[in-house]
Structure 1
Amino acid sequence: MSNRRDFIKVLGLGGAALTVPAGITLANPTTPGLADKIDITNLTLKGRVQSNGAGIPNVAVTDGVNIALTDKSGNYQLLSNKTARFVYITIPAGYAIPHNKGIANFYKAIDTKSNTFTANFQLERLEKDDKNHVFVVWADPQIISKKDAQALIDRPAPDLRDLVSNYPAGTLVHAVGCGDLVWDHFELIEDYREAVRITGVPFFNVIGNHDMDLNARTDDYSADTFKQNFGPTYYSFNRGNIHYVMLDDVFFIGTAKKYIGYLTETQLQWLEQDLKQVKPGSTVVVSLHIPTNTGAMRRNNDKQEELGGTVSNREQLYKILAPYKVHIMSGHTHMNEKWENGNITEHVHGTICGAWWTGPICSDGTPEGYAVYEVQGNDISWFYKSTNKPKDYQLKIYPKGYVKNAPDEVAANVWNWDKQWKVEWFEDGAPKGSMQQRVDFDPWTVELYAGDQLPKKHKWVDPTLTDHLFFARPSAGAKVIKVVATDRFGKQYSQEISL
């Protein structure tokens, strides 16, 4: 690469930015009356990554544009510029996750008063191998009031704490706060932090569309409050054999509550560099708020996708991820679904808040809750944990007449279903084969959320079509119907009802 292109990459602003007059100022969108200068003066970042006084080699250190690796003594030096806000590391495998009361702490805020900034990082080596570990995904806590915040603190926080306590002592667990940590009310961030503290689990956090500064004039400043509380909006870390990446796919378009699902060129270039340190064929877990893709357009027979519902330039992301075995973790939709294509599986998560804290289920009938992923080496298995329900609560059966479009059939909602599950039914103990999968509305969501007066708290909440409903037609004299769902890992879950 030429020296000129190296210089442009160091600036991190793209070629067009080089034409900006040196004295230009931008009004700070979150502090009216102040002005910030775009300062592209060179800045040298340097320091050491160490554990108990010993330097750690080959640790990736970044300013969000370029990446440097520590030398054999753990030292690094990175040419940056004064637009950079953080210097941060990719936590290597084999080390504990540094955190502040559960909020992952892997970064240093840069002081740009001088042309050199020194940032040292201290890590603690784990006493056990971390190839086997657990992680969970909390999608959309989305608290808008103190009442919502108390619900988060009282229900999912202790539920996760108790789940972790049931694993063998010493099990390594981390979590992803998958965006919409609050609902535009930044004073509630402290309540989110309290919920995280209660869990006893270190959380890595992703920015959502409700975590943005709505009075920012461009996307560039829309994450200011998030960054003040949680650090960079895109970064990576390692645990065991798995490489984890967090991305910011919420692009603010300068009008309150208007955004698109989009990954910036700066992020994509950073990701390309980040993945150079990851062996092809490895398992990579990517977390972001807006799903890269969903089945919503198909289910709703829409002619085009909603711009804020999926990632518009997802194909460019997929190209970068092509050499790896990839799991994408997303939220945003308040529904639970999975899709697979080639090397990619995307897990779109049901939410901690259900349907915005209006009832016990999401708009597709998925109970409020979170996903649990158990990692063994390169392999990941998973299940959905409904808040305050046992681990084996994985389906709900509805009697005949509950689904409007199927008056003579029983229906089962199997919310963590994917195409490798089997859903079978039994009538009075006799096996009847597979149930029929169809797109429809979960009947409980219709009862709770359908109509312009429901639910009372947020009347705009509506039921949504889902793929994970299954139907069977019992005989006239049937007395007991049992449904057995077998997941892709061979685990069976069952429920039965009397007719």
Structure 2
Amino acid sequence: MSKRALCLPFLALLLSAAADAPVRAQAAGAASPPQSDVSSGERKFATVTGIVYLDANRNGRRDRTERGLAGVKVSNGRAVVASDAQGRYVLPAEAPMTVFVIKPPEYATPTGANGLPRFWEQVFPDGSPALKYGGIPAGPVPASLDFGLLPAPRPARDAALKMLVFGDPQPKTRTDVGYYERDIVAPLIGRHDAKLGLSVGDIVSDDLSLYPEMNQVTAKLGVPWLHVAGNHDLDFDAGTDEDSLLSFRNVYGPDTYAWEEPQASFVVLDDVVYRPGEKPAYVGGLREEQFEFLRGYLATLPKDRRLVIAAHMPFFDPVPGVESFRRADRERLFTLLREHTRVLLISAHTHNQRHYRHGADSGWHGAQPLHEYNVGATCGAFWSGVKDAQGIPDTTMSDGTPNGYAWLTIQADGDYALRYQVARAEAAASIGLHAPKVLRQGAYPAYGVYANVFMGEADTRVEYRIDGGEWKPMRRVLQPDPRLLAENIADDAADTLRGYDRSPEADVSTHLWRGALPTDLAVGEHRVDVRAFDRWQGEQTASVTYRLQQAAE
């Protein structure tokens, strides 16, 4: 059977293929599947079959009265098929593999013991290679690998999907897990209206034994939560890229999958290619079976449906001229996406925040630039910096963005809006200001106020005024944020450590603006107002003061 045939989106097409007579027999309920080199005890099989059904009584098993669900997509990470009128599906057995259902918009998935969505089953009859963090244990493959779905409340026709997006939680210790809980999760409990959550990789920082604690904390938010694999989620004792996420998969399921809501379809991609023994040990890219999965899945979607692609490594190269994501893989991906007119890319990894608009220079040839949002990290700069009164590190990122998370709102028609939320701050905290406290009256106006507009882009309009006067444009500058530079200097000057880890060295920010401060005003305090016009949230404001003082020669 050709791989192309296996990727056909609907089982009806799969069953009609003349070359697929053995699969047709199995789909019709044949007792003996074809033989292959894949086995589970005495049983050998070339296909995996099962039923997708409505678990009406929510008991986690298929009862005789519970009906099968037609047209639900199921995958092994390579082939994508759809259940027939009785809810039955047939997939090629490419064990070891993770078989998963693609949650349809009108249904929900059960919740696992860890509080996270359970929409997959492992097909590892002989287990995985022995790994420090366990990998995937051996387990029998049932004759029918069934998936129960739950009815979901039908949203209003114009209902929007609000979701939380966390980049790089990345705790290295249980102390850091505590920061994650107190800084990020606890302030949201009982106070948010999100219906879905997404963590965009680096769920932990190399210590995969922290997964249970992280899941226990995240589950307190009470919504289905999707997880992307990051470079710090790897089994570094694995011998190949294919085996490098076995422990991650044992906890979170497939590393590449899809999930559907009424407002949008989501594709989660593992885009970290592990290269054991090489330097660097990983690079951004995709595997061949991921392209096959994408071809099969994208063929099932309307071209104008909102599509969100989430991956850990950015698809752009943060350092110009350094290929951190394989260009050939990016171009193949963009070719698959080209006819889809409403695509949003979400990435993390950089511990900075920026928007990137892909064009021909990065291999995108769509009618409009392709938007990628590289979300700031919930751990900020790896939980570093001086602790505040609550004992939580400052952890500002190297581009001057405070740690936090994003809100993604997708309307019923697929339009979306993004907002960045600084951890434990008011919703309006979208601009960081830095200005000198005092200047000499009459001095040459060589000193400025700096505005770090956390969601700013190159074309963002940023203005300032002094003492309620006329608004004037600020100039975008590519340089480090002076507030973080001041922290670097304070760390250098300190005789003892100011925190467990120092703040990061300030790096060039892509969203920093400057305005010169006048010195020809009256002695005393002067107010500086700054406003930035966000494409989704509208006018955002912040203010700061400085003083003018006379000085004797």
TM tier, shorter chain?
Answer: 0.7 to 0.9
| Greater alpha carbon shift after TM alignment, 369-378 vs 253-262 | 253-262
| Counterpart amino acid of residue 485 in structure 1 | A
Provide structure 1 residue ranges, at least 5 long, that are not aligned to the other structure.
11-37, 299-303
Q: Structure 1 residues 111, 496: CA separation in 2 closer, same or farther (over 3 Å shift)? A: closer
Q: Is 2:74–2:101's contact at 8 Å kept on the other side of the alignment?
A: yes
What per-residue deviation string (whole Å, max 9, x for no partner) do you get for residues 42-76 of structure 1?
53211121222232221110111111101122221
Structure with higher Rg: it is: 2
CA shift in 2, pair 1:9/1:420, >3 Å: same
Computed over aligned residues only, the root mean square deviation of the Cα atoms, in angstroms, reads 2.7
2:51 is aligned to 48
Residue equivalent to 1:322: 338
Q: In structure 2, do the counterparts of structure 1 residues 48 and 446 end up closer, same or farther at CA, with 3 Å as the change threshold?
A: same
Q: How many residues align?
A: 453
Deviation at 1:79, TM superposition (A): 2.4
What are the residue-to-residue correspondences of 1:19-418 with 2, within 5 Å?
A: 42-51=45-54, 52=56, 53-83=66-96, 85-100=97-112, 101-110=114-123, 112=125, 117-129=143-155, 131-164=159-192, 167=193, 173-255=195-277, 258-294=281-317, 296-298=318-320, 304-307=321-324, 313-324=329-340, 325-341=342-358, 342-359=368-385, 360=394, 361-377=396-412, 378-400=414-436, 408-418=447-457
1:344 partner letter: L
Question: Which structure 2 segments of 5+ residues have no match?
Answer: 9-36, 57-65, 126-138, 359-367, 386-393, 439-444, 547-553
CA distance in 2, matches of 1:56, 1:340: 40
Identity level (%): 24
Distance 1:116 1:442, change over 3 A: same
Query: In the TM superposition, what is the alpha-carbon distance from 1:163 to its structure 2 partner?
Result: 4.3
Q: Encode CA deviations 1:93-145: one digit per residue, 9 max, x unaligned.
A: 02224332442211011254888742211112222327521111111111111
After superposition, the Cα gap between the structure-2 partners of 1:184 and 1:450, relative to the gap in structure 1 and judged at 3 Å, is farther
Q: CA separation of 1:394/1:448 partners in 2, compared to 1, >3 Å: closer, same or farther?
A: same
CA contact under 8 A between 1:400 and 1:407: conserved in structure 2?
Answer: no
Conserved in 1, the CA contact under 8 Å of 2:431 and 2:542?
Answer: yes
1:396 partner amino acid: G
What's the CA shift string for 1:429-471, capped at 9, x where partnerless? 1123321111110112223346996885446932221110011
1:424 aligns with 2:460: no
CA contact (8 A) 1:449 1:463 kept: yes
Would the alpha carbon gap of residues 271 and 156 (structure 1) be closer, same or farther in structure 2, given more than 3 Å must change? same
CA distance in 1, matches of 2:418, 2:191: 14
Q: Look up the match of 1:498.
A: 545
**Secondary structure in 2 matching 1:493:** strand
Cα distance in 1 for partners of 2:5, 2:484 equals: 55
Structure 2 residue 458 is matched with structure 1 residue 446:
no
Q: Tell me, what secondary structure is at the counterpart of 1:219?
A: coil
User: Which digits, 9 at most, give the CA deviation of each residue in 1:164-184, with x for residues without a partner?
Assistant: 1xx4xxxx5111111111111
Taking the aligned partners of 1:117 and 1:422, their CA distance within structure 2 comes to: 61
Corresponding residue for 1:20? none
3-state secondary structure, aligned to 1:214: coil
Counterparts of 2:186 and 2:344 in 1: how far apart (Å)? 27
CA distance in 1: counterparts of 2:264 and 2:253, whole angstroms: 22
Residues 6 and 476 (structure 1 numbering): CA distance in 2 closer, same or farther, change over 3 Å? closer
Alpha-carbon distance, 1:262 to partner = 1.0
Following the alignment from structure 1 to structure 2, what is the Cα–Cα distance between the partners of residues 117 and 331? 40
Alignment-derived partner of residue 530 in structure 2 = 483
Structure 1 distance, partners of 2:4, 2:141, is: 19
Q: Which amino acid aligns with 2:462?
A: V
8 A contact 2:458–2:511 mirrored in 1: no
- Residue 39 (structure 1) shift: 5.1
Give SS of 1:462's match: coil
Q: CA deviation at 1:390?
A: 1.0
TM-score by length of 1: 0.84
Q: Is the 8 A contact 2:346 2:375 kept in 1?
A: yes
Cα distance, 1:364–1:312 mapped onto 2, change above 3 Å: farther
Please give the secondary structure, in 2, of the residue aligned with 1:464.
coil
> Is contact 1:217-1:255 (8 Å) kept?
no
1:374 Cα offset (Å):
1.1
- For 1:237 and 1:9, how far apart are their aligned partners in 2? 17
| TM-aligned CA deviation for residue 230 of structure 1 | 0.7
